[in-house]
Structure 1
Amino acid sequence: MAKKFNFTKADIDSLPIPDTGKRDTYQDTKANGLQLRVSHTGIKTFSVFKRIKCGDPERITLGRYPDMTIDQARRRTMEINLAISEGRNPAEVKRGEKSEMIFDDLFSEYIERHSKPNKKTWTEDVEKYKNHVSGKIGKLKLSSIDRSSIAMIHSSVTKHGSPIAANRVLALISSVFGWAISAGLWEKNPALGIRRNKENSRDRFIQGDELPRFFQAVADEPNETVRDYVLISLLTGARRSNVCSMRWKDINFDRAEWRIEETKNGTPQTVALLPEAIHVLLNRKPIVECLYVFPGDGKQGHLVEPRKGWERILARAGIENLRLHDLRRTLGSWQAKTGASLAIIGKSLNHKHQNTTAIYARLDLDPVRESMSSAVSAMFRAGGLKEPADVHKLKKNLK
């Protein structure tokens, strides 16, 4: 039987500590159903003990004393009593809150059930989440994550000088909630309506006056894998992930073609290999059978991110604000300079666009190869190379 008294701070502070393994319960005379339980460790916890409808009595834990004050406990007890009088069951609500998923758990579900099966770049999602999201809202229950908390993450990444990265983080959070809604795990997306940072389309590519320095810096690169990777990226215009995972079995030297079965836009691609690219590939073709053209020591077995080598090349060339992806844009830009149509450029770079898909489908590789060849020849001339086909002798030609 619970002992009854009017809860006051002085009386609660003076309550005795029960013996080991025991717990004493006290009833407040002022708030109907409010109890205080004291454990043998001295922990004091407020709770409401009430019969709901015609069932057995339910205990709803409110909080620990003194973190929760007596007045707070009494107000919360009145709210619960009101809910019970209206036919609701606060105990069931409390149990639902305990079982509610936290955002870390939802993200894990998103990665395993959506990102891994559908996105080759799922590891980038994990990296963004670990760096920017998990420590902020990962441990929060979904119902406690609102637009404000997500906007703060976006603002924080932006203030650290990464406005584009902030947009990508925001897009990831929105994608997680959007997937949760479609999977029946949640009902709303609090990331909607947050204003993105303005993004200007990037138009950087290697200019004519930069090409001599660039080619010389590539020739001087001591890491052969990095050097060849950069050249193949430039000569094919393929996406970084596809070049990194390039496989020998996908290369047909007789037809001078490279078949990419999976690309970012979901469609396969056949890349025309120019003589310059063929020379690079033949020069590095291994005697012993190997799966990847650019093997690596990591879990994926191939080159993943040649960032340090790229930075060395740029430093030697004295070139700033140039990214690996800009090599792809460089080929397309020089194709445009040498008179290629947008359809030809789109075909060679495997761009996917509704208005031009039908045109791309009717193009074979011959005009694409001719356009790419013209662009590469123009680049090599601008770069001071007299014999563009002898790429494997690049260092010798430049000096």
Structure 2
Amino acid sequence: MSNAFTFTKAAFSKLEPPAQGKRTYYRDTRQDGLIVQHTSTGQLTFYVYRWVEGKPERIRLAKYPDITIDQARRKAQEVIGAIAQGKNPNQERRAVRDEMTFAELFEKYLNEHSKLHKRTWQEDEAQYKRYLEDGWKNKKLRTIRRQDVQKLHTTLGEENGTYTANRTLALLSSIFNKAIDWGWEGANPTQGVKKFKERSRDRFLQADELPRFFESLAKEENRTIRDYVLISLLTGARKTNVLSMKWSDVNLVTKTWYLSQTKNDTSQTIPLVDAAVEILELRKEEAESEWVFPGIGKTGHLVEPKKAWAKILERAKLSNLRIHDLRRSLGSWQAATGASLSIIGKSLNHKNVNTTAIYARLNIDPVRAAMQTAVAAMLDAGAPKPETEEAEQSEDNPEMVLPASEEQSSPPNAANA
């Protein structure tokens, strides 16, 4: 294909990527000055090519198909008009981007990208404050090098674990990619930094751990946190969904909780087992907020209670257990008590192309039944021993009532769960 042709979707689809590490430029015959850069990965990016102040300049517009060909042509006309008035768009961009601090870039990223396109934007904000703000907020973008990213990634891996290190690296990569989209001419400093290999996590509450866990949870003085942890365990819902749970989505008559949108970009109706309904009914009687678990922060609802969770684990003498593991605990106990993989996938809203059709045909009642069986088994395993039950109930928080199961199920063997 000639390096000059009329840009169309069909023509773009026929372009062969250049060799590894190479770039090819094509010129649009309909709009003077509009070119497209084609990389070996297949990425197409629009530029305006013009001589400005006696030297050639490539002024970046945007990636294709982030903008259409017609939009690129209109943007090219605007840039060419600005050049005709004596302006140099690249110089203006460089001046702004080179002087921007990382904190300023993150603020722009959060407000102009993350909040608009990511339901998990609050996790981005929390990650920035936890791992990036102290050491990076005042750094000028041009001073951040790959060595800085590598050092941060290694340190986080050693001190906070490989999962945290890899998620932070992914966030940094996304931030710098957006900076480039917005006109920053620097290179993404995360390029070449390799992620740590991650092992699939299989941690869940074992039968011998449940008594200590429930006993410790009963001693938690903050009822909102205590109920939040219990609902997380009894529903198997994702952490962000439980934290932002609204009364308008809870139906205590049908015993369901409706999520209009989940991490998988699908809606979900979560069956509520009896123990969960009992907790929610008590909270509903005293509710003064739209949130099931209200908080004092700007979100209006509870934010992940890390300190309280750490104390619960310390009292229970449990280690290496995350709040997200409560979700895995429900699924594991469902499997151990005989639930099919389809039922488990339905209750936990796992998205799998091979089982989506099966999930869609499942009725909600068997899902609730399987969850009820698993919850009954967990509560039974975690209940105080008969000879100490009365004493322990009087010593622990009397408000904490864990409904006894009607069907006594034997807890699974921890080794086989």
Q: What TM-score comes out, normalization by structure 1 length?
A: 0.68
Give the AA of the match of 1:394.
V
Partner of 1:336: 335
Q: Is the 8 A contact 1:256 1:274 kept in 2?
A: yes
Q: Is the 8 A contact 1:177 1:186 kept in 2?
A: no
Measured against aligned partners, the alpha-carbon deviations of 1:87-108 in whole angstroms (never above 9, x if no partner) come to xxxx998776434343524333
Q: Is the 8 A contact 1:385 1:397 kept in 2?
A: no
Partner of 1:100: 97
**1:274 to partner: Cα distance:** 0.8
Does residue 139 in structure 1 map to residue 139 in structure 2?
yes
Gaps of 5+ in 1: 1-51, 54-90
3-state SS of the aligned residue for 1:259?
A: strand
Partner of 1:317: 316
Q: Is the 8 A contact 1:331 1:372 kept in 2?
A: yes
Partner of 1:204: 203
Give the AA of the match of 1:315.
E
**1:327 to partner: Cα distance:** 0.8
**1:283 to partner: Cα distance:** 1.7
Q: Is the 8 A contact 1:340 1:371 kept in 2?
A: yes
Q: Is the 8 A contact 2:380 2:404 kept in 1?
A: no
3-state SS of the aligned residue for 2:401?
A: helix
**1:239 to partner: Cα distance:** 1.2
Identity %: 50
C-alpha distance in structure 2 between counterparts of 1:94 and 1:117, whole Å = 29
C-alpha distance in structure 1 between counterparts of 2:124 and 2:323, whole Å = 20
Partner of 1:354: 353
**1:186 to partner: Cα distance:** 5.2
Partner of 2:115: 116
The 3 A distance-change label for structure 1 pair 367 and 95 is: closer
Q: What TM-score comes out, normalization by structure 2 length?
A: 0.65
Partner of 1:163: 162
3-state SS of the aligned residue for 1:394?
A: coil
Measured against aligned partners, the alpha-carbon deviations of 1:153-195 in whole angstroms (never above 9, x if no partner) come to 2123234353322211111111123334555655854423321
C-alpha distance in structure 2 between counterparts of 1:259 and 1:348, whole Å = 12
3-state SS of the aligned residue for 2:220?
A: coil
Q: Is the 8 A contact 1:137 1:145 kept in 2?
A: no
C-alpha distance in structure 1 between counterparts of 2:137 and 2:244, whole Å = 34
Partner of 2:369: 370
Q: Is the 8 A contact 1:386 1:397 kept in 2?
A: no
Partner of 1:394: 401
Give the AA of the match of 1:286.
E
**1:272 to partner: Cα distance:** 0.1
C-alpha distance in structure 2 between counterparts of 1:94 and 1:283, whole Å = 62
- Tell me whether 208-217 or 123-132 shows the greater mean CA deviation: 123-132
Measured against aligned partners, the alpha-carbon deviations of 1:40-74 in whole angstroms (never above 9, x if no partner) come to xxxxxxxxxxxx97xxxxxxxxxxxxxxxxxxxxx
**1:129 to partner: Cα distance:** 2.9
Measured against aligned partners, the alpha-carbon deviations of 1:113-164 in whole angstroms (never above 9, x if no partner) come to 210112233233233334444534863345x644333223212323435332
Q: Is the 8 A contact 1:173 1:191 kept in 2?
A: yes
Does residue 151 in structure 1 map to residue 150 in structure 2?
yes
Partner of 2:14: none
Give the AA of the match of 2:204.
F
C-alpha distance in structure 1 between counterparts of 2:245 and 2:118, whole Å = 18
The 3 A distance-change label for structure 1 pair 359 and 380 is: same
3-state SS of the aligned residue for 1:100?
A: helix
Q: Is the 8 A contact 1:261 1:267 kept in 2?
A: yes
The 3 A distance-change label for structure 1 pair 358 and 176 is: farther
C-alpha distance in structure 1 between counterparts of 2:307 and 2:283, whole Å = 21
Aligned residues, how many?
306
Measured against aligned partners, the alpha-carbon deviations of 1:210-255 in whole angstroms (never above 9, x if no partner) come to 1122222222222211221111111101111211111111111111
C-alpha distance in structure 1 between counterparts of 2:404 and 2:89, whole Å = 78
- Tell me whether 372-381 or 156-165 shows the greater mean CA deviation: 156-165
Partner of 2:251: 252
C-alpha distance in structure 2 between counterparts of 1:222 and 1:305, whole Å = 16
C-alpha distance in structure 1 between counterparts of 2:315 and 2:96, whole Å = 57
C-alpha distance in structure 2 between counterparts of 1:260 and 1:92, whole Å = 46
3-state SS of the aligned residue for 2:114?
A: helix
Give the AA of the match of 1:356.
T
The 3 A distance-change label for structure 1 pair 359 and 246 is: same
Give the AA of the match of 2:115.
K
Give the AA of the match of 1:379.
M
C-alpha distance in structure 1 between counterparts of 2:322 and 2:371, whole Å = 21
Q: Is the 8 A contact 2:275 2:403 kept in 1?
A: no
Give the AA of the match of 1:274.
V
The 3 A distance-change label for structure 1 pair 141 and 270 is: same
Give the AA of the match of 2:379.
F
Give the AA of the match of 2:140.
L
C-alpha distance in structure 1 between counterparts of 2:403 and 2:237, whole Å = 27
Does residue 193 in structure 1 map to residue 192 in structure 2?
yes
C-alpha distance in structure 1 between counterparts of 2:126 and 2:286, whole Å = 37
C-alpha distance in structure 1 between counterparts of 2:221 and 2:89, whole Å = 67
Q: Is the 8 A contact 2:376 2:404 kept in 1?
A: no
**1:256 to partner: Cα distance:** 0.6
C-alpha distance in structure 1 between counterparts of 2:265 and 2:244, whole Å = 16
Partner of 1:301: 300
Q: Is the 8 A contact 1:136 1:153 kept in 2?
A: no
C-alpha distance in structure 2 between counterparts of 1:333 and 1:325, whole Å = 13
C-alpha distance in structure 1 between counterparts of 2:258 and 2:90, whole Å = 56
Q: Is the 8 A contact 1:343 1:356 kept in 2?
A: yes
Measured against aligned partners, the alpha-carbon deviations of 1:285-305 in whole angstroms (never above 9, x if no partner) come to 234653111111111111112
Measured against aligned partners, the alpha-carbon deviations of 1:198-218 in whole angstroms (never above 9, x if no partner) come to 211111111001112222222
The 3 A distance-change label for structure 1 pair 359 and 396 is: closer
3-state SS of the aligned residue for 1:270?
A: strand
Give the AA of the match of 2:170.
A
C-alpha distance in structure 2 between counterparts of 1:93 and 1:249, whole Å = 50
